[in-house]
Amino acid sequence: MGQYRMERLNGQLRDEISTLILRGDVKDPRVSTYLSINRVEVASDLAYAKVYVSSFLSDSKLETGVDGLNSAAGYIQCQIAKKLRIRKFPKLTFIVDSGMKQGFNMVRKLTELENESKAMEEEKSSEEPKDE
């Protein structure tokens, strides 16, 4: 399958899985609607697909949500296979992706450092005697 078609399939799978989670079609109580599908990577032979899941929930809730998605993978595959017309539907494996939360924390830390730097500069400028 061509590279463009693989990217399009990855996007379609991401959208369909997100829609199933958001609508609450996955009945597993561990699966929260606050889970977000970051990306999907389908193998070139269409046998397997890795689905990266993230959330701003606590790490333990994210891991239990991913466990719930892995146990409901058969149902999710069946629902999406009815909508998509591909010759072979990949086996879905859900994986915790903590990159979004780490990026958010990094931006927060950089903002704090910038604010501290500005406060130190203002403090320094107010201490200097002014020439009249």
pLDDT of 131 above 70: no
Place of tokens 């296979």: 81
Q: Whole-angstrom Cα distance, residue 98 to residue 96?
A: 6
- Report pLDDT for 129: 65
Question: Within its chain, how far is the Cα of 80 from the centroid?
Answer: 19
Triad 106, 107, 109: Cα angle to 5°: 65
pLDDT of 127 above 80: no
Q: Concatenated DSSP letters for the chain?
A: --HHHHHHHHHHHHHHHHHHHHHT----TT--TT-EEEEEEE-TTSSEEEEEEE-SS-HHHHHHHHHHHHHTHHHHHHHHHHH---SSPPEEEEEE--HHHHHHHHHHHHHHHHHHHHHHHHHHHHHSPPP-
- Report pLDDT for 40: 95
Q: Chain-wide mean pLDDT for the chain?
A: 89
Instruction: State the average pLDDT over residues 62-89.
Output: 91
Q: pLDDT tens digits, residue range 25-34?
A: 998 899 988 9
- Report pLDDT for 2: 80
**Given pLDDT bands bounded at 50, 70 and 90, which one contains residue 12?**
very high
**Given pLDDT bands bounded at 50, 70 and 90, which one contains residue 3?**
confident
Q: pLDDT tens digits, residue range 93-109?
A: 999 998 888 888 899 99
